[in-house]
Amino acid sequence: MTSNPYAGVDVSGQRILVVGAAAGIGRATAELLAARGARVICADRDAPRAAAVAASLPGGQPLEFDITDDPRLRDEIATLLGDGRPLHALVNCAGVTGVTGAPSHEIDVKDFDRVVEVNLRGAFVLSQAVLPHMTRHGYGRILHVASIAGKEGNAGMVSYSASKAGLIGMVKAMAKEYAETGVTINTIAPAVIRTQMVDAMSAGQVDYMTSRIPMRRCGTLDEIAEAIAWAVSPAAGFTTGFVYDLSGGRAVY
């Protein structure tokens, strides 16, 4: 039996901000990181749910902001970092799909803009908010959750695919800029992970995406949380600008 290479990832003593922690990938990641010894700040625009998740974790701390509200986001993170303690890692799980299952010419530009605002622009502002702090401390891990759609494109998901492709490009550029600072910046590209966001899609859209996965199944929250935990741990020190695939064999490049 092959052992799990991520098993027992040690993040004890790490202070980690998880954005989008109220549910789905963010919640699963927050719970795993806390179980592995990290002190997790659970950020989300859904304050009650973020607070509930934080309260369930040893040393958990809630934080409320909308990733599209630049002033509030910057203020909340500045306050968080104002105590002088290092923030070791940022995990950004915030994301929306927008309208799916429709051809590109039918997509309202407002919907396209909204998806890009959350998935790409929000990730950019988040990164800006923590990078000066991490570079001053000479250490940091930033991990943004992208998607296999950003590498290959999903028909019927033009807004989402474009925003995640942009996110991957942003991470690669940023990683090179900060490669000598002790801060790594990476992304993870999952195929279909069964979350509330996926449940909101049409059954046809989910069937289409799952049919393209050689393993013929969705990924699990446990699997992606384990991969994220390793990517933001001290052990992952020589990897930056990388796209961690979690695709069941759909992407092998």
List active site positions: 160
Parallel, antiparallel or unpaired: strands 183-190 and 15-19: unpaired
- Find tokens 């064999």 and name the residue: 249
Query: What is the spatial distance between Cα 95 and Cα 203, in angstroms, rounded to a whole number?
Result: 20
The total number of residues written for the chain in this structure: 253
* Distance spanning both ends of the chain, measured CA to CA: 26
Query: What is the spatial distance between Cα 215 and Cα 250, in angstroms, rounded to a whole number?
Result: 8
What's the Cα-to-Cα distance from 95 to each of 50, 119, 123, 237, rounded to whole Å? 16, 5, 9, 26
The one-letter code for the residue type at 160 is Y
Cβ-based neighbours of 168, under 8 Å, separated by 6 or more: 146, 150, 151, 187, 189, 243
What's the Cα-to-Cα distance from 232 to each of 28, 95, 175, 212, 250, rounded to whole Å? 15, 19, 14, 29, 24
Facing residues of 92 across strands? 19, 144
Of 142, 15, 145, 12, the residue nearest 80 (C-alpha)? 15
